[in-house]
Every structure is written in C-alpha cells, then in structure tokens.
C-alpha cells in the first residue's frame, strides 16, 4: 500500500485492475488477465458486508472528493460508468443525434444521463412499465414509449423522417429488446448493447448486412470513473436521484425485498448504511 491510508473515503469499483497486464495498460480493466477484471461478486465475495478485503486496492479504488456524499459517489461503482462506456461512448452518441434507449431501469436511466452530456436532439426511452417511463422523463428523456401499447418503431421513424435512430442502446438483456434495438437503428447507425443476456438472441443479418450498422457489446472497464467523478463535483451529473430508498445495515432482507419488487415499490437504487 503506497497511497491509501486508514480513514480514506474511497469507492470500490465493480471492476478490479491488476494495473500491469496488457489489458490494464490499454485501460480495458474489465478484461484484466492479471487476476482482476469482474471478480467481486462474481468469482469472489462482493462488497455487501461490513468489512471487505479488496484485491488490487491501489489500482481498483477511487478517492471520494470532499463535498460529494458517499451515496452519490456510490452510483459510480457500476451503473453510471457501465451506461456511459458501454452504451453512450460505444454507441458514439453525438450532438443532434436521435438516441433510442430500450429499457428504463437504472442502467437505461444512466444511459439517458450520459447521452444528455452530448446534446442529442431527442432521447427516446422505451419500456413496458409506466412507472419507469415516468422516471425516464424525470431523468431527461423527451419522448417516452410504452411498447406494450404503442409502436416504438413508428414513433422513432416519425422523429427521423423514416430513417430510424442514430444510436439504439439496449439496456435490458432480453432477445426481444435486442431485436427491437436492431429494428430501431438507421442505416449507418450504432447499436450499443449494455444488457446482460442469459439466453440467445437472434441476429437478423439477412436484413442488417446491407445497412452498414455497427453493433457493439462490452463489459464495463470503469476507465470513465474519474471523468464522471469530476462531473459529479460540478453538478453536471446528478447521481442523488437514483437513490429512492435507505435502509440500516440490519435491514438487509427488507432492502432486498423492496428492490426485488421494484415495479410495486418504485425502487431504483437502495442504499444500506451502518447504523449510526
């Protein structure tokens, strides 16, 4: 340990970085082959505990600047860098773009926040739950679509002269939502897949191959955490509104119940803190 000291306020990133391997030197920390990568909560125990041993702490934690609340900075542990890197930056969102985001959960909402940093002309949020679409509107989406009763494709085409979205971001991880993203994108556009897919999704190359479409996938690397930290500090990114529920550490089970039933509770992110 050379830089960290007892009592330091730091963020433990969702990705660990050995800092020395080929991929870490390329800032692709999610692909670390030196013992890091996505290991916390995956290959080893995660950080939902009173005390945690953090591998590669010097290269896998971030100091929390003074003036930023712990729970605000907590959103940089995963959802904000994930949506920003894998969705917004991989999708190459640019000024004036029409951005269609399929899924308005915490990752989809984070993608809205990240996309707005690049001044798109429209951000379209698509979901099946009205409560999530209401949240998307509060986070800055100017068009919301309930795809259970509205035709997302016709709405997006209506905004773009029939072309389709410049960038389609998939933020669910289901076959139907991935296929919808491929339908929404314009020729020459970008599809950025963030969602974690547990089952196969059909890639319709018979219709996509002539349309010059770029499809990207990825595991977050967290190289953007310092940038997002500065944006938090200047209030250009508001992370506090992600936190909808607070619990004491002894209320772990209740917190999980609330988060698991988000459609009824309206939970986006829950925060547990040690009892004072």
Domain enclosing residue 192, as ranges = 91-216
* C-alpha closest to that of 193 among 82, 79, 86: 86
| Whole-number pLDDT of residue 45 | 92
Segments of the chain with pLDDT less than 70: 1-2, 276
210 in the same domain as 98: yes
Task: Report the CATH number at residue 131.
Answer: 3.40.50.720
Q: In this structure, how many other beta carbons lie within 10 angstroms of the beta carbon of residue 108?
A: 28
| Whole-number pLDDT of residue 174 | 97
249 alpha carbon, distance to own chain's centre:
25
**Burial label, 264 (beta-carbon count in 10 A; 0-12, 13-18, 19+):** exposed
Domain count, the chain: 2
For tokens 């119940």, what's the residue? 257
Model pLDDT for residues 78-116, shown as the tens digit of each residue: 999 999 999 999 999 999 999 999 999 999 999 999 999
209 in the same domain as 158: yes
Q: In this structure, how many other beta carbons lie within 10 angstroms of the beta carbon of residue 275?
A: 7
| Whole-number pLDDT of residue 63 | 93
130 in the same domain as 70: no
Q: H helices then E strands: how many in the chain?
A: 12, 10
- What phi and psi, each to the nearest 5 degrees, are found at residue 176? -65, -40
14 in the same domain as 36: yes
| Whole-number pLDDT of residue 23 | 98
Whole-model pTM: value is 0.95
| Whole-number pLDDT of residue 249 | 87
| Whole-number pLDDT of residue 276 | 63
| Whole-number pLDDT of residue 240 | 92
111 in the same domain as 31: no
Q: Is residue 266 part of a domain?
A: no
Q: Is residue 101 part of a domain?
A: yes
Rounded Cα–Cα distance for residues 20 and 268 (Å): 36
Token couple for 217 = 């996938």
Tell me the pairing of strands 61-63 and 10-12.
antiparallel
């Amino acid at each position: 340990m050379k830089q960290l000291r007892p009592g330091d306020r730091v963020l433990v990133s969702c990705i660990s970085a050995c800092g020395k391997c080929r991929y870490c030197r390329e800032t692709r920390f999610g692909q670390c082959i030196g013992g890091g990568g996505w290991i916390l909560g995956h290959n080893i125990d995660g950080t939902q505990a009173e005390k945690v041993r953090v591998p590669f702490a010097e290269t896998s934690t971030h100091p929390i600047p003074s003036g930023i609340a712990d729970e605000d900075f907590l959103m940089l542990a995963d959802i904000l860098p994930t949506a920003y890197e894998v969705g917004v930056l991989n999708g190459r969102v640019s000024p004036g773009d029409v951005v269609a985001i399929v899924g308005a959960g915490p990752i989809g909402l984070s993608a809205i926040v990240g996309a707005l940093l690049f001044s798109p002309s429209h951000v379209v949020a698509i979901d099946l739950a009205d409560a999530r679409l209401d949240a998307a509107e509060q986070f800055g989406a100017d068009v919301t679509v309930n795809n259970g009763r509205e035709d997302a494709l016709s709405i997006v085409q209506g905004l773009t002269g029939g072309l389709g979205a410049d960038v389609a971001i998939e933020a669910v991880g289901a076959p139907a939502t991935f296929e919808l993203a491929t339908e929404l994108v314009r020729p020459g556009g970008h599809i950025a897949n963030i969602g974690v897919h547990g089952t196969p999704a059909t890639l319709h190359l018979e219709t996509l191959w002539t349309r010059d479409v770029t499809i990207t996938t990825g595991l977050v690397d967290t190289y953007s955490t310092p940038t997002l930290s500065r944006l938090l500090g200047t209030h250009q990114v508001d992370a506090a509104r992600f936190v909808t529920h607070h619990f004491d550490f002894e209320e772990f089970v209740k917190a999980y119940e609330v988060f698991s039933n988000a459609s009824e509770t309206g939970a986006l992110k829950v925060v547990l803190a040690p009892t004072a």
